[in-house]
Amino acid sequence: MDRVVDLDEAAAVLVERAVAWRSAGLEVGRVTWRDAEASWPQPLERDRGLVHDPDSLGVVISGPAEAELSVVLFRGGWADVDFAAGPDDAGCLPASAIASGAGFGARLDQWVARVFGVPGGVQGLSSGSRPT
């Protein structure tokens, strides 16, 4: 797989945003890493130090009313993004052509806004409610 995105840079972007998300009442799970050199099935590691050649990182973000966003970014420049924002509002979000940590951050902002109903990612989120 081509190395389009520096996953360590992307993880740093994610960690920066997690502070604001937590302050806004969202729960941010620990980042998981997958090692391209690990034997199949490749385990997910929470300790970056155990991963020699990362090919993906993932995180789950949860919010009010059981809303959830799951993101797995691959070093090839795409992500698997699944969400549940309500009983009749769930699915996958487009996630290709991600070329940098900054680009990943911009996408994270869009996905968090989409799932949790918050413009710009976290501003205006009130505990226990999801703006409509």
Give the tens place of pLDDT for each residue, 81-109. 999 999 999 999 999 999 999 999 999 99
In terms of DSSP bridges, do strands 78-86 and 89-92 run parallel, antiparallel, or are they unpaired? antiparallel
pLDDT per position as a tens digit, 48-67 = 999 999 999 999 999 999 99
- Within 8 A by CB and 6+ apart from 131, the residues are 117, 118, 124, 125
CB-based contacts of 7: which residues, under 8 Å, 6+ apart? 33, 54, 55, 56, 57, 73, 75
- Residue 130 pLDDT grade (very low, low, confident, very high; cuts 50, 70, 90): very low
Given a cut of 60, whether residue 124 has pLDDT beyond it is no
Task: Give the distance, in angstroms, between the CA of residue 56 and the centroid of all CA atoms in the same chain.
Answer: 11
Q: For residue 22, how many C-alpha atoms fall within 13 Å in the half-sphere facing its CB?
A: 9
pTM for the whole structure: 0.88
pLDDT at 121 > cutoff 90: no
C-alpha distances out from residue 126 to 21, 64, 86, 116, Å? 11, 9, 16, 10
